[in-house]
Chain A
């Protein structure tokens, strides 16, 4: 658990982070989002003391971070950044094993752990262990970066726009993997991004920042439905918010039970988002879709009325 209490950071005359309070529960994925220069990266870097905060308190599991030695604090947290920061003179294997080696794990255990992580992140040991970072593609390098951050099995993971430099397809794949990883490993993650779609896709808790202050925080749906002010609203996409919300809701939430009527020809998976369902309707010129389960068996149906009107009944 991470807790920031009235934290402020000043650089000379300018105040980069202004009296923010934030609480990230164990196992929660908290996304800080905002325009560049809003203080989100500064906030992240104060948590592992790459930047020292000027005022207020920061606690990790109830303990003030200033009570730890800087290095041991950082070794308890994973850290992944946009430029990956992989050491170009070390192999992938050595890069991933960095923190365990700093923590003086025995050699065999490090190797075992590296092997496990590489398997988990889809980097076959035989192919990648001996490679140098410059031989990797952007997505592979970022996977190695994430593996390195996870190496010592830290409870907390700090990520600063880790997928920012990747192409959209790779980015989406890695976002999926991160969500998947998160649901399995239950890490406490603080994730910084300026990409609102990424933020909505990943966040359990969304924190919108502007000019060093927290504008609003909460579940993504809360923010979409009740933005605190114009800034949050426009950042969340203005008129696009409907689609963004639909992307967060799944078909199963809105489907009707099977009716005696004839089942529609077009079908949609019950795990799909409402946005995908809407797209299928638009594309197929269909007002009704059959909802199917994993075995392709119909479990219900979804009408356009229900899809769009649902909000009114909410």
Chain B
């Protein structure tokens, strides 16, 4: 029995191996960047300092995650909520408009959305969160709609015919069946937002985009590389987490 249990544990660990690996690399890179000074010296020979020092990398990572996380959380709640609302009887009238808006909105470049948020909301972290939230809503709304509309009408009819209430239908049938598609939307949303948040460093947010921007401004390639490396690792870590979650959600 212990053998079986350890077998399950091993398989679980193996499933999470890739995210753990990327995450470990990310944390290692954050903590151990100064030890790579010699390496960066090779790239950037003329500058006095080759390790970005205005803020601790771990702090930058934390802020990046916070901004993306808050925006993603809000986007999931609002996006899934909105898509569910417009597929109910009461909100049906709004479905065509919301569906069109979600598909038109996705042609808006994220940078443009970020840039347009600044005149309205000003500089700093809040406008970035709002811009990320707005932009991140679109793939989530779109995928939730697709997921809900992709459910076999017979399943819905049978559920109602068996006497499920609308709430039971939504929680036990519709959302679980749409979950893989919704999750794919969240994945797209978060991937875009990690990238857009980095650009947010130009509008006064301090995050992993900072070393890149200040490296470009000051002509310090080493800074740029450090920022790029960390953002790349962050994106890969988060993406691999989603890649693990997805098949798990589909078998429910």
Which residues of A line the B interface, CB within 8 A?
48, 50, 70-76, 79, 81-90, 98-99, 102, 145, 148, 158
Residue of A nearest to B158 (CB): A85
Contact A48 B155 (CB under 8 A): no
Contact B154 A102 (CB under 8 A): no
Q: Specify which of B156, B163, B176 lies most central, judged by the most chain A CB atoms within 10 Å of its CB.
A: B163
- List B172-226 residues whose CB lies under 8 Å from chain A: 173, 176-177
Q: Does B157 contact A (CB under 8 A)?
A: yes
Q: Which chain A residues lie closer than 8 Å to B159 at the CB level? A: 85, 87
Contact A85 B161 (CB under 8 A): yes
Q: Which chain B residues lie closer than 8 Å to A89 at the CB level? A: 173, 176-177, 251-252
Q: Which chain A residues lie closer than 8 Å to B154 at the CB level? A: 81-85
Would A74 and B155 be within 8 Å (CB), given that A87-B173, A88-B177, A89-B252 are in contact? no
Query: Interface digits, B213-252 against A, CB 8 Å rule (1 contact, 0 not)?
Result: 0000000000000000000000000000000000000011
Report the Cα distance A158→B160, complex, angstroms: 13
* Smallest CB separation, B20 vs chain A (Å): 28
Q: Chain B, interface size: which category? A: 20 to 34
Q: Which chain A residues lie closer than 8 Å to B251 at the CB level? A: 89
Further contacts, 14 of them, CB under 8 A, given A71-B163, A87-B158: A50-B161, A71-B164, A71-B165, A75-B162, A82-B154, A83-B152, A83-B153, A87-B155, A87-B159, A88-B152, A89-B176, A99-B162, A102-B164, A102-B168
Would A148 and B160 be within 8 Å (CB), given that A85-B152, A85-B154 are in contact? no
Report the Cα distance A74→B153, complex, angstroms: 18
Q: Which chain A residues lie closer than 8 Å to B161 at the CB level? A: 48, 50, 74, 79, 81, 85, 158
* Smallest CB separation, B154 vs chain A (Å): 3
Residue of B nearest to A73 (CB): B163
Contact A81 B163 (CB under 8 A): no
Instruction: Pull 7 A–B residue pairs with CB atoms less than 8 Å apart, ordered by A.
Output: A50-B157, A50-B161, A73-B163, A75-B163, A86-B158, A99-B162, A158-B161
